[in-house]
Amino acid sequence: MIKTQNLTKDYGDLTAVSNLNLTVEHGDIFGFIGPNGAGKTTTMRILVTLLEPTHGTAFIDGLDVRKHGKKVRRLVGYMPDFMGVYDDLKVFEYLEFFAAAFGIDRMKRKAIVEGVLELTDLQSKQAATVDSLSRGMQQRLGLARVLIHDPKVLILDEPASGLDPRARIEIRELLRELKRMGKTIMISSHILSELEQICDHVGIIEHGQMVFSGTLDEIRPRLGIQSKVRLQVAADQEKAVELLSSLPQIREAKIVDNYISVTFHDGEKTDGLIARTLVKANLDLVFLQPEQLKLDDAFLQLTKGIVH
């Protein structure tokens, strides 16, 4: 649904984006990550036709953003990191204004505005003025605005910026609902713990170049990280460690705090291995869970803090 090919943007001697190649599949939530000045916002502005690339190109649903700008703008909903608002307008008036700007028939506008207000849970605020809304409510209003013309693709630049924990959770759930509706979502954020809960794929950009694109599971081999699980048995942890350490599929088993950490050799099939082994030895398994790679840890290992 979103694709770039050798996308480059120069500002004089400064290269903001350099030969960037990325792909976002239909219906995915794609997390776009990078330090400040990495080129995220520049890339997004090119995708929504607000900037012309210096070299290369980008496509939205197969349409070249340079050649088919008008059609692309019909397909895309763009929410910048800071939303321009008209403070003296009421919420309903604000959305009706943008519905008119998109050329939506006057007879259909009311129903469409009511629909996006319901989707973003803003019905109770429709008569409030925009400047009276909290930061979280304004972010919801920004999402309502980009949904007015029912775009296939949402490109959201820091939608959770400045929100309190409850508002971030609400925005996250709204994004999940939009995914269920079939929207393709590209989202940038510095709150990496939020992204790892909702994203299908992530792209990490630094100094205008993509340093990784894929799933969190695909980052592990890149970082040389083996698969790990943590577990606990009811008794005889030392016996469990000795037993598990003897298995050829296991690189290491050791006691950490009050649980056992197990590291597997790369590529080993481990489904049910630990449970079967412990049951045969009459050891009661209390819990067993994979050790997840955190997105912020991967980000720190893959980037060097380079900015323009």
| CATH superfamily of domain region 2-220 | P-loop containing nucleotide triphosphate hydrolases (3.40.50.300)
Q: State residue 24's pLDDT score.
A: 96
Q: Residue 53: which region, alpha, beta or left (left: phi > 0; alpha: psi -120 to 50)?
A: beta
Say yes or no to pLDDT of 131 above 90.
no
Say yes or no to pLDDT of 271 above 70.
no
Say yes or no to pLDDT of 8 above 90.
yes
- Print the SS3 string covering 38-82: CCHHHHHHHHCCCCCCCEEEEEECCEECCCCHHHHHHHEEEECCC
Instruction: Give the length of the chain.
Output: 308
Single pTM value for the model = 0.78
> What average pLDDT is seen over the chain?
88
pLDDT tens-place string over residues 69-87 = 999 999 999 999 876 667 7
User: How is the chain split into domains, by residue range?
Assistant: 2-220, 226-292
Amino acid at 45: R
226-292: what CATH class?
alpha beta
* Beta pairing partners, 62: none
